[in-house]
Structure 1
Amino acid sequence: MRRIPAALLAHLQQPVTTTCRLLKISLADGREFGMTTLDQAITYMGVEYSAINGIDSSIIATDTGLSVDNAEATALLSSDIAGITVEMALAGDLDDAQWEMMLINWADTSMGHMVIDAGDIGEVRVVDDMVYIPELLSFAMRLQQSIGHVWSRRCRAVFGTPANSQTGCGVDAESIWQSGTVTAVGSEPTRVFADSSLLLDTAPVPGRLRWLTGPNASNRLYQVEAYSNVSGTIALLEPVPFTIAPGHTFEIRRDCNKSPSDCIGYGNFINYKGEPLIPVGDGLETMTPSAQVFGGLSGSEIVD
């Protein structure tokens, strides 16, 4: 059942209507951006909905069985107007964003709106630096997600989160970040770089890195694949969206390999979210996704 204001309902029952869809995207930092299917920009409830960065919304399919709702919207990106840009999409600003799609009467916005659907932004793809296609996941999808965990020998906690939750860790990860500045870039300028002054006693492998300045600056955490304490070379597991250059600053820290020994090393075994003493049939049953210990840098990756 949808809540439709009486005035808007009466308008929808007319043979000719003046309606359009509004898509509002709310970022985790509180910023809000709007797009509309109308051929001109419109302001509604304090948010300007852009027609230049407009949307081409697909059919939204849902049913009463709580199956995963189906929705996708295509929008052109433009850097010369206020809105979501290619750089924002590549930098991960749309991570953890939420969306809401509404139907209004653009000729008389005082009639209110009908919420068509709302939820989380899923996958974001950039095509030829011109188009992003956010996957719109309905809140109803959350009702299908499993609550609880099966047993595992490796820890199921999310490193650095408060201990009082199902995946809580208890380690204060913010206190172990260390600052660095890029002094040289390797042959893979989106993945391998060095800070010759950053010589860590304990290699941050597994580790996490986040960019503070430069085009890659965002809250996105990148996984450290390898580190050399001789040259200060760092290799990321996945490339960053934009080329790394000397002078860009970052923060780096160790992560956790989800093993009891690592948890004991952090003095946090009381919060270990695993069952390491349960016997298993073979080695495959002890594996946990993303729980990997990476090796050192190869000679070809060292940055002089």
Structure 2
Amino acid sequence: MAFSADLAAHLREGVTTTCGAWAIVRRDGQIYGFTDHDMNLSFEGIDFIANTGLTAKALMQTTGLSVDNSEAMGALTSAAVTEEDIIAGRFDGAEVRAWLVNWADVEQRVLQFRGEVGQLTRGNGAFEAELRGLTEALNQPQGRVFQTPCSAVLGDGLCRFDLDTPGYAVELPVQVVERQRVFRFEDLSTMDSFDHRWFERGRLEVLSGKAQGLVAVIKNDRLSADGRMVELWDSLQADIGPGDLIRLEAGCDKRVATCRYKFDNFLNFRGFPHMPGEDWLMAVPKQADSNEGGALVTGDTVSDGFGIGGGGNGGDPGFEGPGA
């Protein structure tokens, strides 16, 4: 970290007027400012509030690729960090910046830490947050993964599929919800064009209400004569009820047939559908096979069930598009 000349001179005086200040930016864009000074501070367009009871332990910084880390502790208050927001996961992965500030002249400051919120716990009216430095990202796997299914996330920069394409997402109000996890729709006027299991493995995003901004993965999507049932893998950790607006997005099971027939996005498929499986090591020539030593891939088909056309990758793909 680089100290300004003014701040360095102030620190050499022996008697200082410094304090800590932290800014937390959640993934939904909400910004929180905290300080351990007894008066509010303001700089970089952020108000740092003094009455939140937030304190931080000493920052541990090392050379090399070790992860800088610290911890912050504070009181759960209705004006700042609430227990409901922590349970809902709104602070998970939030960006954190920490400064050493001369509270008598806030222009004299130095950024000591930048990272994100890690594990966050709460109890007895207080919370404790682990702060992880920028080098934490180096712990994530890098490079391509060689596997049969696609390694991209539907709609990301590798997949490039636009989920706003008509027929692949729908926004509608909640009709019936059970345990914050199971959604039932008896009125199918806005969903009758979507096939059975169309949203399975897709996303549900809450657009209004107390749970606004939360996102969950869809486990089951069942269409029957009684209506439609959409079930999530995990319950939403915030109250959601009838009338709240949600968005359902089509799901992808990472198979090449799904990419080709459901999304018409085969050119961006990021898997290796022709890669033999583990049972290939035990394969032996069979009289019914083509054993002339030629290429296994011919046109749109691959032998031994590795086809990318005609439902070869495990049977009929079963996706004919909305309204089929």
TM-score (norm 2): 0.75
Equivalent-residue separation in structure 2 for 1:191 and 1:71 (angstroms): 35
Matched, 1:152 2:142: no
Counterpart residue identity of residue 159, structure 1:
L
How many angstroms does 1:233 deviate by?
Answer: 2.0
Give the count of matched residue pairs.
270
Equivalent-residue separation in structure 2 for 1:86 and 1:282 (angstroms): 50
Indicate the residue corresponding to 2:111 in structure 1. 115
Indicate the residue corresponding to 1:196 in structure 2. 186
Indicate the residue corresponding to 2:260 in structure 1. 264
Equivalent-residue separation in structure 1 for 2:174 and 2:29 (angstroms): 30
Indicate the residue corresponding to 1:275 in structure 2. 272
Q: Give the counterpart of 1:98 among 95, 99, 110.
A: 95
Indicate the residue corresponding to 1:61 in structure 2. 60
How many angstroms does 1:249 deviate by?
Answer: 1.9
Indicate the residue corresponding to 1:22 in structure 2. 21
Deviations 1:167-218 (CA, angstroms, capped at 9, x unpaired): x1021112321122222233xx221231212354232112211111221110
Q: Secondary structure at the match of 1:120?
A: strand
Equivalent-residue separation in structure 2 for 1:237 and 1:101 (angstroms): 36
Asked if structure 2 preserves the Cα contact closer than 8 Å seen for 1:180 and 1:195, the reply is no
Indicate the residue corresponding to 1:232 in structure 2. 228
Which sections of structure 2, spanning at least 5 residues, go unmatched? 281-324
Indicate the residue corresponding to 1:300 in structure 2. none
TM-score (norm 1): 0.80
Asked if structure 2 preserves the Cα contact closer than 8 Å seen for 1:91 and 1:217, the reply is no
Q: Which structure is larger by alpha-carbon Rg, 1 or 2?
A: 2
Indicate the residue corresponding to 1:180 in structure 2. 172
Q: Secondary structure at the match of 2:164?
A: helix
Which sections of structure 1, spanning at least 5 residues, go unmatched? 163-167, 284-304
Q: Give the counterpart of 1:170 among 157, 160, 169.
A: 160
How many angstroms does 1:141 deviate by?
Answer: 2.7
Deviations 1:244-295 (CA, angstroms, capped at 9, x unpaired): 3222221112211111111112111111111121123259xxxxxxxxxxxx
Asked if structure 2 preserves the Cα contact closer than 8 Å seen for 1:160 and 1:174, the reply is no
Equivalent-residue separation in structure 1 for 2:273 and 2:29 (angstroms): 41
Equivalent-residue separation in structure 2 for 1:144 and 1:91 (angstroms): 25
Deviations 1:42-69 (CA, angstroms, capped at 9, x unpaired): 2234321112223221222121122111
Indicate the residue corresponding to 1:212 in structure 2. 207
Matched, 1:222 2:216: yes
Indicate the residue corresponding to 1:161 in structure 2. 156
- Cα RMSD for the two superposed structures: 2.3
Equivalent-residue separation in structure 2 for 1:248 and 1:109 (angstroms): 43
Equivalent-residue separation in structure 2 for 1:127 and 1:269 (angstroms): 49
Equivalent-residue separation in structure 2 for 1:174 and 1:133 (angstroms): 39
Identity across the alignment (%): 30
